[in-house]
Chains A and B, each alone.
Chain A
Amino acid sequence: MKSRIILDTKPFHITVQRLCQQLIENHNDFSNSCIIGIQPRGVYLAERLVQELNTYSKKSIEYGRLDNTFYRDDFRSANKPLSPHPTDIDFLIENKNVILIDDVMFTGRTIRAAMDALLDYGRPAKVELMVLVERRFSRELPIQPDYVGLYVDSMEQEKVRVEWKENGGEDKIWIVPKKAIE
């Protein structure tokens, strides 16, 4: 099995643009909405979107980063202890429309943990989920995204990897065999 690109730089940018427009359609000027990126890799997409959205709206959008490490259910089954990342949400989420953002949706367990973490900060009016890549038919929990950049059908032995400029990559999405990573 070889690594292959499933979304190149140009369509990648178009996809991010489209996700941006979809958010504007549903949230207008974001006066009662906020964006929360899930640590560590959801933050790249969230920051890209916030940057883009801020060019459309006059006032800056409320944006935070959320770490779900302490809420995960694979605390003991992971190969090594999970190390936490910073959480910074310096606004209230009470009664807001929260858009949770992650890069790849697979089993749904990350999102479950993120929702538990989020609810410890207050009671949002509504929580939506946006992912750049949705790996279909691989869900282990009944959780579905509201906004999807790209649908991918992949095998369990494969992994979807998103490269970001901010992370030293080139804004591309890859499918790689799991062994190459481990």
Chain B
Amino acid sequence: MSQLSVKHLLGIKYITTDDIELIFKTADSFKEVINRPIKKVPSLRDTTIVNLFFENSTRTRISFELAQKRLSADVINFSASASSVSKGETLIDTVNNILAMKVDMVVMRHPAPGAPMFLARHVDTQIINAGDGTHEHPTQALLDAYSIREKTGGVKGKKVAIIGDIRHSRVALSNIYCLKKLGAQVKLVGPPTLMPRDIEHLGVEIEYDIRKALAWCDVANVLRIQLERQDIKYFPSLREYALYYGINGNLLSELKKEIVIMHPGPINRGVEISSDAADSGHSIILDQVENGVAIRMAVMYLLSGRKN
């Protein structure tokens, strides 16, 4: 296996375990590259990539842009707020106009679930999903699993708790697919109102007690409470959420065991995780960010070199 089975990276659901392993193996080499004095290789110097962001982002966007620059690709950045989208142009028209200027790959974030799949059907280019609404965020799941593999030696058989706003989280769904494909056990933790109905069909367990979940797991992936996607009140107050589902230093010191704490960012400090837990020795939050660049380099390198 030295070629991805897919032309686009639309979601973890659509790729195989072999694909994930290939991305990890390639990312190992790119991690070495980004820790060198000259952090750049010429692989994609003939490629132009557009970053289409219809939704705000700091980490993912910088991470993708950095990965593209480290691969020597030419980069165009596009954000919806400063574009003709506000004049009423459709998604397909926008993308086709950009592609007419000879662009080879599109990295897209969009608030509508399924937008990248829709685009992949209608335009002729390679598409990487950088987050589509509450659906998937494949590169985040890959870098999360890669960070677990790096920290604990492997993903297979590990117990991973995904804690928080499961209902509105694309990170949660992509993580579930990715971790299950790699053979981990997954438990979802959060208030019942934030748990999607029938989610256990994906082969995960559900837990409502944070203490039990932490005692069980090797890795706790803490998600952000996505207030911007919550149209109604799902819990009485942020304080109450922090009290029942927030991770803090006391909870961790009660455990008396090694545990890995992850967070995809941005952190609401004092809500889903307290500062003492986020900055503790258990946390690999900044390693996740570093690995994000290597993973995205690997994805773009492998997609770009793929033969149809």
Contacts and interface: CB of A to CB of B under 8 A. Distances in A.
B36 interface: yes
A174 to B, nearest CB: 24
Contacts of B29: 67, 69-70, 84-87
B296 to A, nearest CB: 15
Interface string B155-170: 0000000000000000
Contact of B41 (A70, A83, A85): A70
Interface class of chain A by DSSP: loop
Residues of B in contact with A, size category: 20 to 34
A70 B31 CA distance: 13
Given A71-B42, A81-B2, A86 B32 contact: yes
Interface in A62-97: 67, 69-71, 75-76, 78-88
Interface in B17-44: 22, 25-26, 28-29, 32-33, 36-38, 40-43
B307 interface: yes
Given A70-B42, A116-B42, A84 B307 contact: no
Residues of A in contact with B, size category: 20 to 34
A120 interface: yes
A11 interface: no
Nearest to A120: B38
A44 B5 CA distance: 32
A83 B37 contact: no
B17 to A, nearest CB: 17
A78 B22 CA distance: 18
B97 to A, nearest CB: 26
Contacts of B26: 83-84
B117 interface: no
Given A70-B43, A121-B37, A81 B305 contact: yes
A82 B2 CA distance: 7
A30 B255 CA distance: 54
B33 A80 contact: no
B305 A122 contact: no
Contacts of A120: 36-38, 40-41
B43 A79 contact: no
B198 to A, nearest CB: 38
Nearest to B45: A75
B102 to A, nearest CB: 16
A83 B307 CA distance: 14
A87 B28 CA distance: 10
B217 interface: no
Interface string A109-138: 000000011001110000000000000000
A71 B33 CA distance: 12
Contacts of A69: 29
B81 interface: no
Nearest to B303: A81
Interface of A: 67, 69-71, 75-76, 78-88, 116-117, 120-122
Interface of B: 2-4, 22, 25-26, 28-29, 32-33, 36-38, 40-43, 46, 71, 301-302, 305-307
7 contacts: A67-B29, A70-B33, A70-B42, A70-B71, A75-B43, A81-B4, A116-B42
Q: Which 10 A-B pairs have the closest CB atoms?
A: A81-B305, A70-B41, A84-B29, A120-B38, A70-B43, A83-B2, A80-B3, A80-B2, A81-B3, A87-B32
